[in-house]
Amino acid sequence: MQEPPPNSISAFEKKHPAVWEAFAKLGEACHETGPLDEKTRRLVKLAMAVGLRHEGAVHSAMRNALQSGVAREEIEHVAILAITTIGWPSAYAAMTWIEDELSHRDGSR
């Protein structure tokens, strides 16, 4: 079951439906193009969000990765790999965002 988007996204979609529809179609086309499997695509998107320090994108990528069956350990490994690539402070910030989603999913929030 897919979770509803955050309120801010729903509000944008209602206010600008044509823009949202075009964006959603572009996202779907980008996601489906190429040889990478679903799990790999989800891990790559998570890694890009982590590297850019986009908190909202990390949360979104996490939800999508978990819904696609990516394991908790695989997700945590993405954050650990970021330590030597983007630095401890940025990687640790991403770890807290990841933990937010994992805790939410586990119901411990």
Domain count, the chain: 2
* pLDDT at 105 (0 to 100): 78
Output DSSP code: residue 107. T
Could you tell me if 28 and 3 lie in one domain?
yes
* pLDDT tens per residue across span 45-80: 999 999 999 999 999 999 999 999 999 999 999 999
CA dihedral sign of residues 28, 31, 34, 37: negative
1: confidence class by pLDDT, cuts 50, 70, 90: low
Residue whose structure tokens are 């964006």 = 23
Quick one: what percent of the chain has pLDDT higher than 70? 94
Could you tell me if 29 and 46 lie in one domain?
no
* pLDDT tens per residue across span 78-91: 999 999 999 999 99
Answer yes or no: are the C-beta atoms of 48 and 83 closer than 8 Å. no
* pLDDT at 61 (0 to 100): 95
Could you tell me if 50 and 87 lie in one domain?
yes
* pLDDT at 74 (0 to 100): 96
| Domain with 49 in it | 36-106
Question: What is the Cα–Cα distance from 2 to 108, expressed in whole angstroms?
Answer: 20
